[in-house]
């Protein structure tokens, strides 16, 4: 049965961590727009340099650019049984574009991971990123759990940038809660619990709403 998930939540809510668990549970691809954009930055094209400046300042990539990336990705054969979107949509226009993309497919199941701003700042202060593959890590060893590469502080996790990212989230992304909140497939999850408990809560909510 096709399963199309959308992960919502502020920076540091653990969306990437949960996505890695859930993709194995349901055998659907984890589509992280953040990872795709970081790959673009490493490519060194003019667009990549533009993306890098926006990411390092804590801003958001334009709806048009990121939507083109997602449309292309959802056309791949591995999404036939479903997908897990992490980092898209982030604005109402993106959400409207996604609704058009999934016409004729299974309805979107929305996972909204809720976390206080104080906890967001605390978590991001300890977050590292793999210098090789770009995976996030919090409170882990010196090597990446995915590829074994070295971990370094994320450029966009400095305190002032974190506060700016939260401001951007409140202004542009929180309205998605109103957009999706009345849908029967909207699931609100407490993100302050232990990661395994959050995973269990998500699985229960998704199975209830499928």
Instruction: Convert the pLDDT of each residue in 18-37 to its tens digit.
Output: 998 999 999 999 988 877 77
Q: Which residue ranges make up each domain of the chain?
A: 3-209
Contact call for residues 206 and 3 (beta carbons, < 8 A): yes
Query: What's the pTM value of the predicted model, to 2 decimals?
Result: 0.74
Provide the annotated active-site residues. 15, 90, 127, 154, 165
Query: What is the gyration radius of the CA atoms in the chain, in angstroms?
Result: 16
Query: Which regions of the chain does DSSP assign to beta strands (E)?
Result: 3-8, 30-32, 82-86, 108-114, 127-130, 136-138, 151-153, 186-190
Tell me the per-residue pLDDT of 10-19, one tens digit each, with 9 for 90 and over. 888 888 889 9
Contact call for residues 185 and 209 (beta carbons, < 8 A): yes
Tell me the per-residue pLDDT of 52-68, one tens digit each, with 9 for 90 and over. 787 778 776 788 878 87
Contact call for residues 109 and 209 (beta carbons, < 8 A): yes
CATH topology of domain 3-209: Rossmann fold (3.40.50)
Antiparallel, parallel or unpaired: β 3-8 and 108-114: parallel
């Amino acid at each position: 049965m096709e399963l199309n998930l959308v992960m919502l939540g502020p920076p540091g809510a653990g969306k990437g961590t949960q996505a890695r668990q859930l993709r194995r549970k349901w055998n659907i691809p984890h589509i992280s727009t953040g990872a795709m954009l970081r790959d673009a930055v490493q490519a060194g094209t003019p667009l990549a340099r533009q993306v890098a400046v926006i990411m390092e300042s804590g801003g958001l990539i334009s709806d048009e650019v990121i939507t083109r990336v997602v449309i292309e990705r959802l056309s791949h054969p591995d999404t036939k049984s479903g997908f897990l979107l992490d980092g898209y949509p982030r604005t109402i226009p993106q959400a409207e574009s996604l609704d058009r993309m999934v016409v004729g497919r299974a309805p979107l199941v929305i996972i909204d991971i809720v976390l206080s701003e104080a906890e967001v700042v605390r978590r991001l202060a300890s977050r590292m990123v793999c210098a090789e593959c770009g995976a996030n890590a919090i409170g882990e060893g010196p090597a990446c759990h995915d590829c074994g590469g070295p971990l370094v502080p994320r450029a966009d996790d400095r305190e002032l940038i974190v506060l700016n990212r939260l401001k951007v989230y409140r202004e542009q992304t929180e309205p998605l809660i109103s957009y999706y909140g009345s849908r029967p497939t909207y699931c609100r999850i407490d993100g302050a619990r232990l990661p395994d408990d959050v995973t269990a809560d998500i699985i229960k909510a998704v199975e209830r709403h499928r």
